[in-house]
Structure 1
Amino acid sequence: MISVLPIDTAATRGRPSALKVTGDMGLATASVLEHAVNEVLTDRTVILDLTDVTFCDSSGLNTLLRLRRRAQDVGGRLILAAPPRQMMRLLTITGAATVFAIYTTLAEALQAPPAPGAPPTS
C-alpha cells in the first residue's frame, strides 16, 4: 500500500510558497513531503501549514530538518505554521523548535519578514 500525505499548494502571488500538510508525517510519508517542498523550493521561503497534521514521528522531524538545511543551502528558508500540540512538543523536546521559525497561524507566517539577503517579493 502506498501512503499518501495530502499537500495543497496555496496561491501566494509572489509571496512565499505555502504548503498545507494533512495527516500523519512519518516514515511512510516523509518522501512525499520532501518531494513537495523540493518542487517549490528555490531561493525563497517555503511555509508549511501544519494545522491538519495528526501525527509526527522522528521520521517526520528528520524530514523537516533536512528540508530546513536544503532551504538554507539554496538561500531560502523553511517556516512552520500552526504545528499541533503533539508536534510542538516533539519540536521542543528535541530542541528543533530553536532552529525553525514557528508561527501560530498561517496568516502570521505569511507576514514574516523575509530571510536576510532574500530578493524582494512583488
Structure 2
Amino acid sequence: MEDLPSVERTVSGLCLVAKVRGAMDYVTQLELRGQLTQAIDRAERAVVVELTDVSFCDSAGPNVLLGALREAEKAAVVLVLACVPVPLRQILEMTGADQVLRVFDTVADAEAALSS
C-alpha cells in the first residue's frame, strides 16, 4: 500500500499551517495537490507548508509544491515551506525549485517572517 499523503491544517496567527505527512510522489501527487489547494482556499494571508513528516519524495514533489505556489499567487496568498527534510531540500536544490520557493528552518521562523 502506498504511503498516502495527508495535510493537517491548523491556524496560527495570520498563517494557515499545512502539515504534510506521507509520500510526495507520482502516485500521490493528485491527492496532495487537492489537499494543498484546499488549504490555500481556506487561508486568509499565508500558508506555511510544513514538511517534517514527508516520508518519500520523487520528482513529482517539487512539481506539486510549485503548483501550489502558483495557486497561492492566483489567490493572493503567500506560500512558504518550513521544516524541509534534507533529502527533499536536496531535490529542491537540484531542480532549482529552491530559487522560487521560500524555505524556512522552522514554522516559527516562517510565521515571524510573514508577520513582519
Q: Are the aligned partners of 2:9 and 2:39 in contact in 1 as well (CA < 8 Å)?
A: no
Q: Provide TM-score, normalisation by structure 2.
A: 0.86
Please list the CA deviations of residues 65-91 of structure 1 after superposition, one character each: whole Å capped at 9, or x if unmatched.
111111112211211001100000011
* Structure 2 unmatched ranges of 5 or more: none
Where does residue 107 of structure 2 map in the other structure? 106
What percentage of aligned pairs have identical amino acids? Answer: 32
User: Which aligned pairs between 1:17-96 and structure 2 lie closer than 5 A?
Assistant: 17-42=16-41, 44-96=45-97
Structure with greater helix percent: 2
Note the aligned Cα RMSD (angstroms).
Answer: 2.0
Q: Provide TM-score, normalisation by structure 1.
A: 0.82
In 2: Cα distance, 1:44 partner to 1:11 partner: 11
Question: Which of 46-55 and 3-12 deviates more?
Answer: 3-12
Structure with higher Rg: it is: 1
Q: Are the aligned partners of 2:46 and 2:114 in contact in 1 as well (CA < 8 Å)?
A: no
Where does residue 9 of structure 2 map in the other structure? 9
Where does residue 118 of structure 1 map in the other structure? none
* Structure 1 unmatched ranges of 5 or more: 116-122
